[in-house]
């Protein structure tokens, strides 16, 4: 058949280990560097915005939101995580009924969760038929994984412990539905120095959404890897920053 099924176990491990693909830093230091950059960015964001941190939206220990407000005031662990993200959006709509829209931006595993949000039947969460606020209004999926089956054969699944059934149920690629009139705009982003498997998944998922009638843009960013593709969002001149701001301004 070709593709990931023909790879050796070690080759597949490498494909889903982003730290092995960056030309900037070696794999033993790039994750620590990435954590340091993102932690510093979080501190800057919290210092420059009004925040409500660790807001519970459910009873589980992990069911908490960090909410950043504009200063001008204008069956499995995987199943559980997907449900938590969906519930958190329903909570936001209920808690802040005056907002104009909700925009998701997810990176890596976060991009997968954001893509799963696009599959949500919101009638189960009692937020429709009042659909004045689309859920979400826009989605930015950065260097994500949209078919989880290959991960079953890698170290990534050691923590997730997914069965094939769970992986298939939580694979956005396998559940692309025709776009509805209220469907949001989707931006699928991939880095030049993502692994070939990450790049393939982003390209194929974006194409599948487009074929189903979704409004999709594919953005292949040169000169960045799996980590600084998201780190650079703190830079006003970064193309992805500009594209996201433009998406929001059109609302």
Quick one: which H or E segment has residue 142?
A: strand 138-142
Which pLDDT score, from 0 to 100, does residue 46 have?
79
Which pLDDT score, from 0 to 100, does residue 62 have?
84
* Cβ count within 10 A of residue 38: 15
Q: Which residues of the chain have pLDDT under 70?
A: 1, 69-75, 128-134, 251
13-57 pLDDT per residue, tens: 999 999 999 999 998 899 999 999 999 888 888 777 777 788 787
Which pLDDT score, from 0 to 100, does residue 44 have?
84
Which pLDDT score, from 0 to 100, does residue 49 have?
74
Q: Where are the domains of the chain?
A: 3-249
Question: Catalytic amino acids?
Answer: 108, 194, 226
β-bridge mates for residue 140, sequence order: 105, 187
Which pLDDT score, from 0 to 100, does residue 165 have?
95
Which pLDDT score, from 0 to 100, does residue 140 have?
98
* Cβ count within 10 A of residue 166: 19
Q: What is the DSSP letter of 90?
A: H
Query: Per the structure block, which two tokens stand in for 89?
Result: 């959006």
Which pLDDT score, from 0 to 100, does residue 74 have?
39
Second-level CATH architecture of 3-249:
3-Layer(aba) Sandwich (3.40)
Which pLDDT score, from 0 to 100, does residue 7 have?
94
Quick one: which H or E segment has residue 216?
A: strand 215-221
What's the rounded Cα separation, in Å, for the pair 94 and 57?
11
Nearest to 194, CA basis, from 219, 169, 224? 224
């Amino acid at each position: 058949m070709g593709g990931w099924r023909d790879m050796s176990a070690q080759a597949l491990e490498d494909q889903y280990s982003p730290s092995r693909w960056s030309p900037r830093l070696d794999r033993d230091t790039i994750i620590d560097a990435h954590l340091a950059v993102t932690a510093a960015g979080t501190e800057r964001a919290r210092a420059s915005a009004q925040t409500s941190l660790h807001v519970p939206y459910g009873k589980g220990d992990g069911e908490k939101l960090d909410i950043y407000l504009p200063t001008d005031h204008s069956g499995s662990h995987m199943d559980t995580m997907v449900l938590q993200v969906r519930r958190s959006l329903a909570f936001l709509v209920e808690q802040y009924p005056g907002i104009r829209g909700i925009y998701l931006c997810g990176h890596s595993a976060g991009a997968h969760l954001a893509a799963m949000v696009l599959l949500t039947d919101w009638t189960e969460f009692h937020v429709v038929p009042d659909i004045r606020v689309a859920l979400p209004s826009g989605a930015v999926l950065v260097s994500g994984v949209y078919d989880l089956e290959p991960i079953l054969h890698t170290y990534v699944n050691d923590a997730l412990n997914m069965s094939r059934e769970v992986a298939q149920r939580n694979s956005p690629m396998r559940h692309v539905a025709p776009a509805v009139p209220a469907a949001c705009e989707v931006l699928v982003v991939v880095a030049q120095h993502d692994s070939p498997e990450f790049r393939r998944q982003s390209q194929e998922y974006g194409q599948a959404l487009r074929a189903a009638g979704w409004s999709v843009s594919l953005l292949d960013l040169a000169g960045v890897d799996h980590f600084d593709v998201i780190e650079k969002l703190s830079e006003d001149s970064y193309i992805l920053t500009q594209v996201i701001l433009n998406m929001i301004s059109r609302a």
